Amino acid sequence: MFQCYLEVEDLLFIAIELRGFCVLKLIYKDNTMKNEIATKFNNVKNSSLNVSVKDKNDIFIAILNGSIDTYNSDFFAKKIEMVKDTDYRKIVIDLTGISYISSTGMGALIQILKIFTSISREVVLSGITPKVMEIFKLLGFNSFFKTYDTLDEAIFFLEGNKKPTITQEKEIFPKIIQCVFCGQKLKAIKSGKFRCPKCSYLIVINTDGKLV
């Protein structure tokens, strides 16, 4: 065990290439190491698709930027499939930064969903842009996935929280909030991410109407 930790960086990259993931599983026994391992995965990228990862409350989060097409869909699928050899039971794939998904890319997403569902893992999608959602609907794939408007919302629900009822939402919003950076008061009509019109600070409001 001492030798594994001594050579952790070299062994980590070997495990990734071989898809063995043995070192990742060993290190995950120590929760203090998770962020360090997630940082290593941020270097895993393709020229047209960047895959960065992190975790929160035992939820694995893959944040994508670029496009998913014929040329990188296999790369994308294999990287996400690595997670099946870890202890993560819940996975979020955030598509906020994805501008285009081809039919092959959709096939990769379906492949990932089938693999993780077969081993009792939960996979959800977040941040699908209207343009990409049109492709989902065109191919009839929008009914296959659990989708959330934002990454924060996906995490919120995977943590076991329930979405407020329509009545509760009406009671919460609209709500007056204050920018924590410049103090500007704003009127929020729903949860989500917003830019302060005065200082452009990013404001995130959860479904309870609270600043995150």
Torsion over CA of 195, 200, 201 and 205, rounded to 10 degrees? -10
- Note the pLDDT tens digit of each residue in 116-132: 999 999 999 999 998 89
- Note the pLDDT tens digit of each residue in 153-162: 889 888 887 6
CB of 153 within 8 A of CB of 132? no
**To 5 degrees, how large is the angle CA 127–CA 129–CA 61?**
25
**Range 49-53 average pLDDT:** 88
Instruction: Please determine, for residue 206, whether its predicted confidence score (pLDDT) is greater than 90.
Output: no
> For residue 163, what pLDDT is reported?
63
Start and end residues for every CATH 3.30.750.24 domain found in the chain: 42-161
- Assign a CATH topology to domain 42-161: Transcription Regulator spoIIAA (3.30.750)
